[in-house]
Amino acid sequence: MKSLINKAKTTHDLTRDEILSILKDDSINEYLFSVADKVRKEYIGDEVYLRALIEFSNICRCNCVYCGIRRDNENVKRFRLTKDEILSLANFAIQSGYKTIVLQSGEDSYFTAEMLAEIIKEIKKNDIAVTLSIGERSFEEYKLLKEAGADRFLLRIETTNPIVYKKMHPNMTLENRKRCLFDLKKLGYETGTGSLIGLPEQSVEDLADDILFYKELDADMIGIGPLIVHVDTPLKGQVDGDFILALKVMAITRLLLPNINIPATTAMETLVENGRLKALQSGANVVMPNVGLENAKKQYEIYPGKVSVDYETLKDDLKKIGRTISLKRGFRNDNKSFLE
């Protein structure tokens, strides 16, 4: 098994069966994590990219079965920030030293592409990258947003198993999700996707397929997080996803896509103490601190107990593991290309 991991370290290639055998063998976990850490160091170095996350609306037309801000959850106090509020949070992030702003929201059609374009143009007056995470839109809308200056887009595939996808996402289709991702790539966005680990009926085979999908898309960013059960959803009473399994999917992704950006996700830190640092030592190179106001953070409860971290605390934590905060905007192209 170690030789398989070593092979992946140099070839960045594994078959579905090989991925599966690594996922199923828990005796090599620490070895896998250490090799993923080495690949990260070789292709990206010790600098960590920070992305300032602004959650600007928790109003969502989707009804994803696991999500705390799903449409049918009536226990959520819904909010929408104004353009000025969004811009003032963006300014705060810029003053704090962030080089990327992530604008994230539920699928809230109140924010037309034209409105978002105005906000993006305003933020882009600064030397800063803008990432959008606003869900599924048409090619034309994505195009308008790109032309307004958006650099990147995050849209997790969540799962590539069509049956699990259908059960988890009422009134949505895996086909349209994929269409969105390939449209984003075509439009020149740095495109991020990723999966939830621990969905009901999801198998390790599905996780192997997810990893192969990231490769097929040539994703520029991959966010992997364990499911954290929210009591105000139909998943109430089910078990959370497995942290180690999520870490393994992340580490294998690092072996196969060595120069992409991979966040240590908030769900990892929420589920396990020091999960963030463990992830950063197992292949991850990005952290996405939430810079929203406290009230909004509470109301943006995708899953319970969502932790947040500020710039200075993070800086100290990173120092402890020999890492520093990058002053670059952190595009995939800033990382070493394996085609060189």
Tell me whether residue 129 or residue 235 sits nearer to ligand 5AD (CB atom): 235
Give one DSSP letter per residue of 157-195, joined into a string.
-B---HHHHHHHSTT--HHHHHHHHHHHHHTT-EEEEEE
- Give me the sign of the Cα torsion angle 18, 19, 20, 22: positive
Tell me whether residue 34 or residue 73 sits nearer to ligand 5AD (CB atom): 73
Tell me whether residue 253 or residue 335 sits nearer to ligand 5AD (CB atom): 253
3-state secondary structure of 70: coil
Tell me whether residue 43 or residue 142 sits nearer to ligand 5AD (CB atom): 142
- What letter does residue 79 receive in the DSSP assignment? -
Show contacts with ligand 5AD in window 25-54 (CB under 6 A): none
CB of 35 to ligand 5AD, least distance (A): 26
CB of 305 to ligand 5AD, least distance (A): 10
Half-sphere exposure at residue 210, Cβ-oriented, CA atoms within 13 angstroms: 31
Return d(Cα 136, Cα 107) in angstroms, integer. 7
Tell me whether residue 97 or residue 304 sits nearer to ligand 5AD (CB atom): 304
Interface with ligand 5AD by CB under 6 A: which range of 29-37, 226-234, 255-263, 278-286?
Answer: 226-234
Does 156 interact with ligand 5AD (rule: CB under 6 A)? yes
Q: Radius of gyration of the chain from Cα atoms? A: 19
3-state secondary structure of 100: strand
Q: Which of 106, 225, 292, 330 binds ligand 5AD (CB under 6 A)?
A: 225
Cα–Cα distances in Å, from 340 out to 122, 298, 333? 36, 45, 12
CB of 298 to ligand 5AD, least distance (A): 16
What residues contact 45, with CB distance under 8 A and at least 6 apart?
none
Please tell me the count of residues contacting ligand 5AD according to CB under 6 A.
Answer: 12
Return d(Cα 26, Cα 136) in angstroms, integer. 36
Tell me whether residue 196 or residue 256 sits nearer to ligand 5AD (CB atom): 196
Does 158 interact with ligand 5AD (rule: CB under 6 A)? yes
Tell me whether residue 284 or residue 318 sits nearer to ligand 5AD (CB atom): 284
Give the helix/strand (H/E) hosting 101.
strand 100-105
Does 181 interact with ligand 5AD (rule: CB under 6 A)? no
Kindly compute the dihedral angle of the four CA atoms of residues 84, 88, 93, 99, in this order, to the nearest 10 degrees. 50
Show contacts with ligand 5AD in window 237-266 (CB under 6 A): none
Give one DSSP letter per residue of 314-340, joined into a string.
HHHHHHHTT-EE--S---GGGSPPTT-
Interface with ligand 5AD by CB under 6 A: which range of 122-130, 204-212, 220-228, 251-259?
Answer: 220-228
Interface with ligand 5AD by CB under 6 A: which range of 105-113, 165-173, 223-231, 255-263?
Answer: 223-231
Supply φ then ψ for residue 222, to 5 degrees.
-135, 120
Does 275 interact with ligand 5AD (rule: CB under 6 A)? no
Q: Which of 33, 49, 56, 66 binds ligand 5AD (CB under 6 A)?
A: 66
Show contacts with ligand 5AD in window 292-311 (CB under 6 A): 302-303
Name the site residues for ligand 5AD (rule: CB under 6 A). Answer: 66-67, 156, 158, 196, 225, 227-228, 230, 267, 302-303
